Structure 1
Amino acid sequence: MKVLIADDDLISRMITKAAVEQSGHECIVATDGDSAWELFKEHSPEAVVTDLMMPGLNGLDLCRNIRASEEDSYTYLILVTSHGSREDVLTGMEAGADDYVTKPLDPFSLHIRLLAAQRITSLHADLARYRSALTEQARTDPLTKLHNRLKLTEDLAQLHARSDRYSRDYCLAMVDVDNFKSYNDIYGHQAGDAALVSIAATLAGQVRQTDGVYRFGGEEFLMVLREQSAASAHGVLERVRSAVLELKIDHSGDPDGILSISAGVSAYTDGHRAGTEQLLREADLALYAAKAAGRNRVSLADALRSE
């Protein structure tokens, strides 16, 4: 465990450092509250042993700063007081301290508190990992492993706000698997699921890491293409469409004999700074136009507006 010691008294620092290292922990030393705060931000220790009274930030302020900065992590805070009065202890706990020791420091007392610190910070680390996993699971489509509509809503809101602020372009592409209902009817839902997994992987493999591919629902996918004009996005979707054809997934119910996709593209560009809901509607209408024109093609919302 990494332990930060903050104390302006040399003798106290030496005793505390020796006790921490004898307990088998890595030690970081600060000579005042201000440097302790900087070292905390740099090293993210699991535990902090801080004197109550120090130049700059005192122990209480240091505890408050640490607690205010924490998100998924947790730091065990041990306050060192000169006499351990009830008032000092209560004030320290209210400031965020977990425990306290009194001067002169008893190494055994500190060792016991560091054992507790190790258990508690380990538990918090496990909980943080579980929360992160659950958060990711809630935003991931269980079949295709693409992000889902919840994650799309979050990502699109951030992208749109940034694009609006800095006048950046982006495009949305609504993608649908052609004649997928008949595919399920002919080959069964298990084969349909396998086809969706293959197509999802193909879509994800044809775009940049900065772009996004989401399962929108059923056999529909939504692609978010950053820094793209309508024309360049059309080129991307034609490449994606060709890659899906190259999968050569047999479909006896399709005129071409294999599974294909259709796509509709809307663009957030100069002259068309529409909101996200409008862009989604435009991409959907463009997809409908691609379907009506015979499927297995890409349609641009810009072309529909100009008609």
Structure 2
Amino acid sequence: MRVLVADGDPASLRALRSAMESAGHECATARDGDSAWEAFLAQSPQVVLVADDLPPTQDGPDGAPARDSSPGEGYGLALCRRIRAHASSGRAYVLVLASRPDEDELAGLRAGADDCLTKPVDAAAIHSRLMVAHRVTALHAELSRYRSALSDRVRTDPLTALSTRLRLSEDLSVLLDRGQRYGERFAVALCSVDGYEDYRVRTGEAAGDRAVQAVARTLTETVRRSDLVYRFGGAEFAVVLPQQAWAGALAAMERVRRSVQALGIEDSASPDSVLTLSVGISVFSPARPISAEDLVAEADQAHSRARSGGTNSVVLAEPDQKVAANEW
């Protein structure tokens, strides 16, 4: 395991490092708060052994007390709390080496340590704690992998491998922030396969799934690499087009509409004899700083008009005459 030992006592530091290395662990050391925190960030140790009386980080030549530490407290407990508060650090196992029994051990646990030992510490006690640390860190790593896989699953549609509504909500939040901060425009398009439910009933579930997969591939292949495609469910999709205004978004989604029609998926009930796509578009711009909810609602209303107006068409949320020339 990767182990960080932080102790201001040179003899104790040497002994602890020797014990770690003799047991086959990769060991880094630090003699004060600053170097301990820097080593922690740089090396992401799985285990941290920190003396509670670690010399404080000096803020200046006058020996001011360490940042994040309480009056009369060494930097060891402050470092422990700092590690626990560092969200991106994973879950390091922290073992506090207490200067005094009982009282200091309790303070270490309150600071977020997983365990405490009273100095001087013998090698057998350290090794037994490291065995526990190995089991705990392995368990946390497995749980982290599980959470990551679960997070990916809820953000990825299993049929098409496209992102889901949850990812759309997250991405729109980022784009809105950039749009408000830097004045960047972007478009949102909602689209669906015309008459899909009836098609699925007539042709069967497998054929319906194949059609959805084919449309999803076409969407991904037709839009720009920087554009983002999502599946809403059924045969409904969303496309986010960064740095696109009305004209660019209209041209892009017309290409998508034609590409879906060109797939030639036979549909006897369609006026075009093949499956087609209806699309609604809305645009965020400095002149129209609307919320994500309103943006999607506008695109959805335009999408509804496209479906009710004859299908196989692209409709803008805002009539052309209401769009200023520099926004078009």
Settle same-fold status: TM greater than 0.5: yes
Q: Does 1:66 align with 2:83?
A: yes
Whichever residue aligns with residue 30 of structure 1, its letter is: A
Q: What TM-score do the two structures reach when normalised by structure 1?
A: 0.91
Contact 2:191–2:278, Cα closer than 8 Å, also in 1: yes
* Structure 1 stretches lacking a partner, 5+ long: none
Q: Does 1:147 align with 2:187?
A: no
Please tell me the root mean square deviation across aligned C-alpha atoms, in Å: 2.1
Q: Does 1:17 align with 2:34?
A: no
Q: Pick from 267, 273, 286: which aligns with 2:302?
A: 286
Question: Structure 1 residues 72, 297: CA separation in 2 closer, same or farther (over 3 Å shift)?
Answer: farther
Q: Does 1:80 align with 2:125?
A: no
Contact 2:186–2:283, Cα closer than 8 Å, also in 1: yes
d(CA) in 1 for partners of 2:151 and 2:138? 20
d(CA) in 2 for partners of 1:261 and 1:72? 46
Q: Pick from 237, 240, 247: which aligns with 1:231?
A: 247
d(CA) in 2 for partners of 1:98 and 1:53? 17
Contact 2:44–2:89, Cα closer than 8 Å, also in 1: no
Equivalent pairs: percent with the same residue?
44
Q: How much has 1:46 moved relative to structure 2?
A: 0.6
Q: Secondary structure at the match of 1:295?
A: coil
d(CA) in 2 for partners of 1:271 and 1:97? 53
1:275 aligned partner: 291
Q: How much has 1:292 moved relative to structure 2?
A: 4.0
Q: Deviations over 1:190-248 (max 9, x none)?
A: 21122112212222333345432222232211111111111111222122223323432
Q: Does 1:256 align with 2:272?
A: yes
d(CA) in 1 for partners of 2:291 and 2:94? 47
Question: Structure 1 residues 217, 7: CA separation in 2 closer, same or farther (over 3 Å shift)?
Answer: same
Contact 1:76–1:117, Cα closer than 8 Å, also in 2: yes
Whichever residue aligns with residue 245 of structure 1, its letter is: Q
Question: Structure 1 residues 101, 176: CA separation in 2 closer, same or farther (over 3 Å shift)?
Answer: same
Deviates more, 1:56-65 or 1:250-259: 250-259
Contact 1:230–1:302, Cα closer than 8 Å, also in 2: no
Contact 2:200–2:208, Cα closer than 8 Å, also in 1: yes
Alignment of 1:25-44 (within 5 A): 25-44=25-44
d(CA) in 2 for partners of 1:193 and 1:132? 27
Question: Structure 1 residues 148, 305: CA separation in 2 closer, same or farther (over 3 Å shift)?
Answer: farther
Q: Secondary structure at the match of 2:201?
A: helix
Alignment of 1:65-144 (within 5 A): 65-70=82-87, 73-82=90-99, 84-144=100-160
Q: Deviations over 1:238-259 (max 9, x none)?
A: 2222332343222222222221
Whichever residue aligns with residue 17 of structure 1, its letter is: R
Q: Pick from 225, 234, 253: which aligns with 1:218?
A: 234
List, as ranges, runs of 4+ consecutive aligned residues in structure 1 with deviation greater than 6 Å.
none
Deviates more, 1:225-234 or 1:207-216: 207-216
1:240 aligned partner: 256
Contact 1:15–1:105, Cα closer than 8 Å, also in 2: no
Contact 1:72–1:128, Cα closer than 8 Å, also in 2: no
Q: Number of aligned residue pairs: give it.
A: 306
Q: Secondary structure at the match of 1:302?
A: coil
d(CA) in 1 for partners of 2:263 and 2:225? 22
Q: Does 1:174 align with 2:190?
A: yes
